[in-house]
Amino acid sequence: MTHDHPGPPHPAAALSQPALDWTQRLVSLDTTSRNSNLGLVETVRDHLRSEGFTCHLSYNADGGKANLFATLAAANGDTQGGIVLSGHTDVVPVDGQSWDTDPFCPSTKNGRLYGRGTCDMKGFLGVALGLVPMLRQTALARPMHLALSYDEEVGCAGAPGMLLDLQQRGLRPDGCIVGEPSSMRVIVAHKGMNAYRCCVTGHAAHSSLTPRGVNAIEYAARLICHIQDLAREFETQGPYDHAFDVPFTTASTGTIRGGIAFNTVPDQCDFDFEFRNLPGCDAAQILQRIRDYAEGSLVPRMRKIHAQAGIRFEPISASPALDMAEQAAIHQLVRALRRDRDTRKVAYGTEAGLFQQAGIPSVVCGPGSIEQAHKPNEYVELEQLASCERFLRKVIASQSVEGAAGT
């Protein structure tokens, strides 16, 4: 399949066929988070092995999913240091969305590539894989690495295993570029994301005898309102960082389940909530404030009626905030190659915070707009992919023996 441009593109602006082919190939593999991603990672692993990369898979508990970390050694055989190009393999569901085309049969129209994951974030991975021949032909002063993770879309669940594997193998890259959609702008910070399930256990009773019951829904509602009050406090009192699109910590409740009938005092209610903390705001302290209200104010009232009533919290997912130091080498390199000196910080989370937490300085820069992610008819502009390809070519050149000698 060829890509469509409104007119003959300038050769320097055109996306290479290998980059387009790889992107389309990745999109055609349905790696919705509920599915296995082994078909994709094993396909990429086999290709990279044939090109001289050393590949390691780290699996989830049941072996149905895996991360892939692949290394192309420097010209002298060294595998330490170097830059990681990182992206996740999973995509969000298309259930209930109205698509004009098959989301897993990528198609081009009016300079755009449509399909689930084109923007978030198989475009970046496809471009990187399309540049493998350039990597093989480059005398690298430092190694280059490709990292493909699973289950980023359900709370960055896969990357920690990959990073633990790196630690156990004694591998320490110098920096990481996470290719999440940023319209190829350099993102130096993002918020942390922390999701929890709150399980409220009350005591059932007939609704005509409500004083004898502990209404789990009503106590859950009180706690939800407390979380909303915290969110309002963050909004009105800060702390603030106005470089962010939303310059304060946020909190919200996303789902709630409870009750069996209108005439029964419900004994169970569960709800899921999240908060997205600014870098420097302690996520543990925010959760503790919520716990303190539940355990100090609500639970004693509940147990006056029934001793077994209570509230517990279960972690769903967490990813740390990213706050890139201006002096970090990867920061300076990416800014220089993109000729981008603006400071941009975003509310959405990425795996860059996990890499940074593991001691690998990280920057977010990738093709496509976050505005298109997760939507029906998701797309990425072909020029965005071409811009990413030009950028990654410069990254590879900077890691060559000749490029390193000039730095």
Q: How many degrees, rounded to 5, is the angle at CA 31 between CA 184 and CA 88?
A: 35
CB atoms within 10 A of CB 223: 21
Q: Which among 30, 90, 153, 378 is annotated as catalytic?
A: 90
Is 292 in the active site?
no
Which helix (H) or strand (E) segment holds residue 346: the answer is strand 345-346
Options 30, 120, 152, 153, the catalytic residue: 152
Which amino acid, one-letter code, is at 391? Answer: F
Using CA atoms, how far apart are residues 283 and 291, in angstroms rounded to an integer?
Answer: 13
Read off the tokens for 396: 């590879």
Distances (CA, A) of 75 to 78, 129, 142, 333: 7, 20, 8, 21
Are 40 and 57 a contacting pair, CB within 8 Å? Answer: no
Q: Is 90 a catalytic residue?
A: yes
Alpha helices in 33-83 (DSSP H): 38-50
Q: Which two tokens stand for residue 207?
A: 């609704």
Q: Pick from 80, 89, 88, 90: which is nearest to 145 by CA?
A: 80
- In 112-170 the beta strands, taken as DSSP E runs, fall at 112-114, 144-149
CA 370 from chain centre, in angstroms, equals 12
CA–CA distances in Å: residue 394 to residues 70, 380, 388: 20, 21, 10
CA distances from 273 to 195, 228, 309, 322, 326 (A): 6, 10, 21, 21, 33
Q: Which residues are catalytic?
A: 90, 152
